[in-house]
Structure formats: C-alpha cells, structure tokens
Structure 1
C-alpha cells in the first residue's frame, strides 16, 4: 500500500484527503490512525510512507 503525506494532504492508493486546517485541532498521528485503520485491517500488504519534511516544517 502506497501512502504519501505532506503538510496539506494524505494520499492512500491514489485517494487523497486534504488535511490542512484539520490539523489545527487534531493530532496528525490520531488522524492517520483513524484514516488508515480500515486499510490496514483489510490488507496485510506492506505500507510505504513518504513524508515531505521540509514543507511540513514550513506549515507547522
């Protein structure tokens, strides 16, 4: 399963969710867990994370 995360969006297998603004009131870890838990339960495939740290730091 391909997972891509940056300061504005989280993409899982081509399905992108915008997270900018949501993060002001929530923990990114909590949000990722809630969003990905169904994917992980349904699939035993390996997860690959891509985190854009430079842009994340600019946002945070």
Structure 2
C-alpha cells in the first residue's frame, strides 16, 4: 500500500525536477536574449550561436 509520506516525497520530487528544468530553460533563454550584446567580434558571436543555437528549439517549444 502506498503511504501518504511516499506520495508527499514523490510529489516534491516531481515539482523540484520540473522547477529545475524551468530554471535551466529560462537560463538558456536569457543567454539567447543577450546573444548580440555579448559577442564583440564575429568569431565570438559565431561561438555563442553555436553554443546556444542548438538549445533554442527545445527552449521555445517547451516554454
């Protein structure tokens, strides 16, 4: 039989996991909004686009 304490722990595990995922996605989104202000040279901008560009799809489709 599933106890009340187990359900509480399970619930908070799911909530903390979803909260961590949201924080990560918002962090990626914040990095993408600063894309043009952080890169000073063209090489730096290309590096930032390559680092954050692949995560763009996951962030916007999830949020």
Larger Rg: 2
TM-score with structure 1 length normalisation? 0.27
Normalized per residue, the structure richer in strand is 1
Normalized per residue, the structure richer in helix is 2
